Every structure is written in C-alpha cells, then in structure tokens.
Amino acid sequence: MSPHPEFTAAPPRTDEHVFEFASALEQAPAGMKKSERTRTRLRIALCTALNTRPAQALKVADICAMAGVAHGTFYVYFSDLNAALDDVLGAFVEHVQTVMRHATKGRGGERTRAATAAYFDLFDRNPGLMRCLLSSFETFPAAAQAFQRLNRDWARIVAEATARRLSRVNRPVPPHDELMRRAYALGGMVDQYLVALHCNRDAALAAVSGDRDEVITTLSTIWQKGMEP
C-alpha cells in the first residue's frame, strides 16, 4: 500500500523539549510562586521516574529525593502517590492536546502526517507517561477521563475533516457515526503499535520500525485509507 502523494515528505522535527513533558515543565514562568515551583519539581520527578519503572514500583521517598524536597513536603501537595500521578497524567493529557493542535495548525493537506509525527514523538519522548496513561484507567480515573475526552475530540476532528474533504470532491460521505467508529478504531490501532514500540520494547516490531519517517508514512497511510470509503 503506497501513501498518498501529500504524505510523502516528513515534516521537520520540532524541538524535542516541546514533546518531552518533563522538559516542558522545566520551562516554568520566571514569576512562578515558590509553592508552584515545588509542585513542578515533584511533577518532573514523577515524569522522570516513570520512564525507568512502572507506577506500582514508585515510592514517595524516591520522588522526594529526585525533586530535592523533604519527604513531608510531598503531602503538602498530594494526599498520596496515586493522587500525584493522577495530577501529572491529567496535566500530560493537556500537554498532548496542545502539541497536537500546534503540529497541525496551518498545515492544510499535511495535517494527517503532521499529527501522526507529533503523536509518534510524544510516545518516543514520554514512554513512561504514555504507558501509565494507557494501562491504568481504573487507578487514575481523572486522568482516564481526560484521555477519553482527548480521544473523543480527536475522533470528532478527524471525522469532520474527512466529511469536508469528501464533500469538496463530490464523493459519498459516510454517516457521522460510521466516521467516528473508524476514527476510534484507527486511533486504537496506532496506540497499540506505539505502546509495543516505545513502551513494551517489542524487539520484532522494533526491527522493522527503525526509520522514524517510514513508520510515520505507514501510520499516516493507515489513517487516510481507513477513513475514506
């Protein structure tokens, strides 16, 4: 299956700090209050720790040591570790949404590829957060709800964009619910691919996914072909 011509050239990679949530948090406003700076350090420590160990292996003492704060300080901001993770994951979902919107803004026909590239890089730079977000819905309900809203909004954007594109070229437009089902299904497929690649380190998948641009071409093609009749 060959990609549509408009998806043949990969968009340039943006500064990786935009994609890495911990680095984005480090770029705090100069006038931030001391209490918010402390909360931010704890958030950064959680993000960093999740890249090396699963959420269930985290300890408050380790997070405080990484953040450079006293053990008791943690409980000034969070009731327990799960509450802190829920807070970080909810903020990360907002970060994902911001990055995705920025990536597709003003790109016209290149939006599908630009969005796919941004999502790939978000997984690549935040494997621990993504793994936790996609596998711990019952443990972190607030973050799960935020992620579900993100999926719903993205499916709606894709469905509406597909309907407009088909209308412009006088092609049959599937019902809205059908387009939404396709968008949800395709999004789930991409999530599982990227979880296996970036989070689970699937060796067989990694062997055929060494070229970032080729992977983005494949995933972009799947999105385009799957959404159209």
Q: pLDDT digit string (tens) for 35-50? A: 889 999 999 999 999 9
Tokens linked to 5: 């011509």
Rounded to 10 degrees, the C-alpha dihedral 88/184/11/52 comes to 30
Kindly report, residue by residue over 171-183, the tens digit of the pLDDT: 999 999 999 999 9
Q: Give the whole-angstrom CA distance, residue 151 versus residue 226.
A: 17
Provide the whole-model pTM: 0.86
Q: Give the number of other Cβ atoms within 10 Å of residue 30's Cβ.
A: 4
Hey, is 229 helix, strand or coil?
Answer: coil
The pLDDT of residue 222 is 95
Q: Give the number of other Cβ atoms within 10 Å of residue 183's Cβ.
A: 24
Of 3-7, 50-54, 96-100, 209-213, minimum mean pLDDT range:
3-7
Percentage of residues of the chain with pLDDT beyond 70? 89
Helix axes 141-168, 81-104, angle to 10 degrees: 20
Q: Give the number of other Cβ atoms within 10 Å of residue 156's Cβ.
A: 14
Q: How confident is the model at residue 5 (pLDDT cuts 50, 70, 90)?
A: very low
The pLDDT of residue 170 is 94
Domains of the chain, earliest start first = 5-227 (1.10.357.10)
**How far is Cα of residue 51 from the mean position of the Cα atoms in its chain?**
14
For residue 124, what is the DSSP state? H
Task: Find out whether 150 and 216 touch, Cβ atoms under 8 Å.
Answer: no
Q: Residue 4 to residues 8, 14, 109, 188: CA-CA distances in angstroms?
A: 7, 23, 10, 22
Q: Residue 26 to residues 9, 48, 96, 134: CA-CA distances in angstroms?
A: 32, 12, 16, 24
Kindly report, residue by residue over 58-76, the tens digit of the pLDDT: 999 999 999 999 999 999 9
Tokens linked to 24: 């984005």
Q: Residue 207 to residues 114, 148, 195, 203, 215: CA-CA distances in angstroms?
A: 24, 31, 15, 6, 12
Tokens linked to 224: 């385009």
Residues 6+ apart with CB under 8 A from 139: 55, 82, 85
